[in-house]
Structure 1
Amino acid sequence: MLRRALSTLANTALLPVRGATLLYRAGRAHQHFFQPVLNGALGDQLAVRHDPRAIALSFRRGGQDVPVAELGLTEFKQKTVIFIHGLMGDELIWQTGFQDAPEGPLRYGPRLAAEAGCRPLYLRYNSGLHISENGRALSLLLTELVETYPEAIGELVLVGHSMGGLLIRSAGYYGSEQLVVSKEQLPIAKLSRRKKLPTAHSSLPTAKAPWLAHLRAVFLLGVPHEGSYLEQNGLLVERLLQRINLFPTRFLSEAIARRSNGIKDLGQALLVDEDWQQPDDPALPRPRTTVPLLPGVHYHVLVGDWLRASRPQALRDYFGDGMVGAASARGQVFDDETALPPGTTVRTARFAQQHHGGLLYNAEVYQYLRQWV
Structure 2
Amino acid sequence: MKDSNSNSPGRLRRLLGAVGRAALLPVRGAGYLLRSGQAHQHFFLPVLNGALGDQLAARHDRRAIRMSFRRAGHDIRVAELALSEPHQKTVVFVHGLMGDELIWQTGFQDAPGTRRYGPRLADEARVRILYLRYNTGLHLSENGRELNRLLAELVDTYPNAIGELVLVGHSMGGLIIRSAGHYAAAAPQQLRINKEELRIDTGASDSEQLSITNSSSLINKASWLVHLRSVFMLGTPNDGSWLEQNSHFTERLLHRINLFPTRFLSRALNKRSNGIKDLRHAILVDEDWQDAHATDLTPPRTKVPPLPGVQYHILLGSWLRTSLPAAIREYFGDGLVGKQSAHGAAIFGNEADLPPGTTVRTAVFAQQHHGGLLNHPAVFQYIKQHL
Normalised TM-score (structure 2): 0.85
- State the shift of 1:275 in Å: 0.5
Cα distance in 1 for residues equivalent to 2:57 and 2:217: 27
The percentage of aligned residue pairs carrying the same residue is 66
**C-alpha root-mean-square deviation of aligned residues, in Å?**
2.5
- State the shift of 1:74 in Å: 1.1
SS of structure 2 residue aligned to 1:160: strand
Q: Where does 1:277-288 land on structure 2 (aligned, <5 Å)?
A: 277-280=290-293, 284-288=297-301
Structure 2 residue aligned with 1:347, among 361, 364, 373? 361
- State the shift of 1:287 in Å: 1.3
In structure 2, do the counterparts of structure 1 residues 284 and 232 end up closer, same or farther at CA, with 3 Å as the change threshold?
closer
- State the shift of 1:72 in Å: 1.3
Rg: which structure is higher? 2
Structure 2 residue aligned with 1:111, among 76, 96, 120? 120
SS of structure 1 residue aligned to 2:246: helix
1:270 paired residue number: 283
Q: Which stretch shows the higher mean deviation, 304-313 or 152-161? A: 304-313
Cα distance in 1 for residues equivalent to 2:299 and 2:21: 62
Q: Where does 1:34-113 land on structure 2 (aligned, <5 Å)?
A: 34-98=44-108, 103-113=112-122
1:65-93, Cα deviation, whole Å (9 max, x unpaired): 01011111111111100000001111000
Q: Which amino acid is 1:140 matched to? A: R
**Is 1:167 equivalent to 2:180 in the alignment?**
no
1:101-134, Cα deviation, whole Å (9 max, x unpaired): 9954100111111110011110000000000000
**Is 1:145 equivalent to 2:148 in the alignment?**
no
Cα distance in 2 for residues equivalent to 1:172 and 1:337: 19
Q: Which amino acid is 2:328 matched to? A: L
1:45-82, Cα deviation, whole Å (9 max, x unpaired): 01011111111100011110010111111111111000
1:229 paired residue number: 242
**Is 1:206 equivalent to 2:218 in the alignment?**
yes
- State the shift of 1:205 in Å: 2.9
- State the shift of 1:23 in Å: 2.7
Cα distance in 2 for residues equivalent to 1:230 and 1:259: 13
1:25-48, Cα deviation, whole Å (9 max, x unpaired): 221011111111110010000101
- State the shift of 1:280 in Å: 2.8
Q: Which amino acid is 2:289 matched to? A: W
Cα distance in 2 for residues equivalent to 1:294 and 1:132: 17
8 Å contact 1:55–1:126 — kept in the other structure?
A: yes
8 Å contact 1:116–1:370 — kept in the other structure?
A: yes
Q: Which amino acid is 1:150 matched to? A: P
Cα distance in 2 for residues equivalent to 1:346 and 1:267: 23
1:177 paired residue number: 186
In structure 2, do the counterparts of structure 1 residues 372 and 282 end up closer, same or farther at CA, with 3 Å as the change threshold?
closer
Cα distance in 2 for residues equivalent to 1:153 and 1:281: 39
Count how many residue pairs are aligned between Structure 1 and Structure 2.
351
SS of structure 1 residue aligned to 2:218: coil
8 Å contact 2:68–2:76 — kept in the other structure?
A: yes
Q: Which stretch shows the higher mean deviation, 47-56 or 226-235? A: 47-56
**Is 1:309 equivalent to 2:309 in the alignment?**
no
Cα distance in 2 for residues equivalent to 1:282 and 1:270: 12
8 Å contact 2:288–2:294 — kept in the other structure?
A: no
8 Å contact 2:50–2:276 — kept in the other structure?
A: yes
1:196-226, Cα deviation, whole Å (9 max, x unpaired): xxxxx98873336100000000001111111
In structure 2, do the counterparts of structure 1 residues 274 and 281 end up closer, same or farther at CA, with 3 Å as the change threshold?
closer
Cα distance in 2 for residues equivalent to 1:232 and 1:41: 16
The structure with the largest helix share of the pair is: 2
- State the shift of 1:281 in Å: 6.2
SS of structure 2 residue aligned to 1:122: strand
Q: Where does 1:350-369 land on structure 2 (aligned, <5 Å)?
A: 350-369=364-383
Cα distance in 2 for residues equivalent to 1:269 and 1:16: 44
- State the shift of 1:352 in Å: 1.1
SS of structure 2 residue aligned to 1:206: helix
8 Å contact 2:86–2:161 — kept in the other structure?
A: yes
SS of structure 2 residue aligned to 1:323: coil
Q: Which amino acid is 2:121 matched to? A: L
Q: Which amino acid is 1:22 matched to? A: Y
